[in-house]
Amino acid sequence: MSSTSERSSEETFLCSICLEVFSEPVTTPCGHNFCKSCICEAWAPEGPCTCPLCKEVFHSRPQLSINTLLRELVSEVKLDKNKSNSMNEMMTFSEVQCDLCSEPKLKALKSCPVCLSSFCETHLQPHLTVSGLKRHQLMEPVENLEDRMCPKHQRPLELFCGTDEKIVCMMCSVREHKNHELLSLEEACERRRSSLLHTQAQSQHMVEQRRLKVQEIQRCVELSDTEVHRERAVGLQAFTDLMQSVQRRQDRFLEKLQEKQSRSHKRAQELVQQLEQEICELEKSSTEVERLSRSQDPLHFLQHCPALTPPAGLKEWSSESFEPETCEGSAARALTELEKHLSEDFNKLSSRLELLRVQQFVVDVTLDPDTAQPWLVLSEDLKQVHHTDVKKKLPDSPLRFDSSANVLGKQSFSSGRFYFEVQVKGKTDWDLGVAQESINRKGQIIVNPKKGFWCIVLRNKDEYKARAGPSVPLSLQRAPQKVGVFVDYGEGLVSFYDADSADLLFSFSGCCFREKLFPYFSPCFNTEGSNSAPLVLTAV
Tell me: the pLDDT tens digits for 374-403? 999 999 999 999 999 899 988 888 999 999
Higher pLDDT, 107 or 231: 107
The neighbour count for residue 96, using CB atoms within 10 Å, is 19
- Greatest mean pLDDT range, 2-6, 92-96, 148-152, 159-163: 159-163
What pTM, to 2 d.p., does this model score? Answer: 0.50
Residue 453 has a pLDDT of 97
Q: What is the spatial distance between Cα 251 and Cα 434, in angstroms, rounded to a whole number?
A: 48
Question: By the 8 A CB rule, do 260 and 327 touch?
Answer: yes
Q: Look at residues 407, 437, 436 and name the one whose alpha carbon lies nearest to residue 422.
A: 407
Strand 65-66 with 25-27, pairing: antiparallel
Which tens digits make up the pLDDT trace of 298-336?
A: 887 777 776 556 676 777 787 777 777 776 667 788 787
